[in-house]
Amino acid sequence: MSSTKIGIIGAGNVGSALERGLKRAGNEVRAVAKDRAALRDMIAWADVVFLAVPYLAIDDVVKAVGEGLAGKTVVDVTNALDEKMSLAVGFGTSGGEELQRKVPKARVVKALNTVFAQHMDSGRLGGKPLTAFVAGDDASAKKKVLDLASSIGFDAVDAGPLKNARLLEPAGYLNIQLGYVLGMGTQVGLSLLRG
Ligand SMILES: NC(=O)c1ccc[n+]([C@@H]2O[C@H](COP(=O)([O-])OP(=O)(O)OC[C@H]3O[C@@H](n4cnc5c(N)ncnc54)[C@H](OP(=O)(O)O)[C@@H]3O)[C@@H](O)[C@H]2O)c1
């Protein structure tokens, strides 16, 4: 796959893992957190922008750089969790759809929120591929994200329209419950079997 200019908003567990994985796959990658000038520069430069900040920081990011996301493929990796670590938006909408409303000119794609950061640089667990579920309304943006996920090492699966973020976000929450609440740890992940 040809090299893509990829910006990542957020340089924590997820941002740094994606930076490693996407660089290894041959892309140019820049991850930036709260430095507003650097964020604006990075977004103007990037073709694809991953959003990897805490859910409750999204409004702040949109206020600061939302205009710059017009026309860009924006990959929403966030899990919509509130301060109590509960699903913040319920089941009648999703963080992905709410983000699309906040940046209507961006091409929002929901992806990778069901994967622990520990596996985001390889897309693999125990030598087997994890599934990257990818949901979005813009076909070319979704295809691009499917290709990027495959290039990292994931089994990339088209999970339908952005509305299906309503399903992917509870699935991400299940992953968190299994790993952190029910004591399985982060060496677990979701994988789609095909018969
Ligand atoms: N960790 C996982 O396994 C995992 C898996 C799937 C999805 N997610 C989701 O991915 C997102 C990031 O998780 P994480 O574990 O990477 O969190 P994290 O380690 O806490 O990193 C968050 C990053 O966002 C930056 N940030 C915070 N507020 C910001 C703002 N207002 N503007 C710009 N940057 C800001 C932080 O910068 P500072 O360091 O300067 O505060 C940091 O670089 C969350 O929505 C989470 O639900 C996480």
* Ligand 1 binding residues, C-beta < 6 A: 9-15, 33-34, 52-55, 57, 60-61, 77-79, 81, 113, 115-117
- Environment class of residue 74 by beta-carbon count within 10 Å: exposed (0-12), middle (13-18) or buried (19+)? buried
Nearest CA to ligand 1 atom 23: 10
The whole-number pLDDT of residue 2 equals: 83
The whole-number pLDDT of residue 52 equals: 98
Q: What is the pTM of this model?
A: 0.98
| pLDDT tens for the 195 residues of the chain, in order | 689 999 999 999 999 999 999 999 999 999 999 999 999 999 999 999 999 999 999 999 999 998 999 999 999 999 999 999 889 999 999 999 999 999 999 999 999 999 999 999 999 999 999 999 999 999 999 999 999 999 999 999 999 999 999 999 999 999 999 999 999 999 999 999 999
The whole-number pLDDT of residue 66 equals: 87
- Counting ligand 1 atoms within 8 A of each CB, the residue from 14, 125, 168 with the most, and so the one to mutate, is 14
The whole-number pLDDT of residue 148 equals: 98
> What angle (nearest 5°) sits at the alpha carbon of residue 129, between those of residues 182 and 153?
125
- Which region holds residue 50: left if phi is over 0, alpha if psi is between -120 and 50, else beta? beta
First to last CA, the chain: 29
The domain made up of 5-181 is a member of CATH 3.40.50.720? yes
Three-class SS of 70-118: CCCEEEECCCCECCCCCECCCCCCCHHHHHHHHCCCCEEEEECCCCCHH
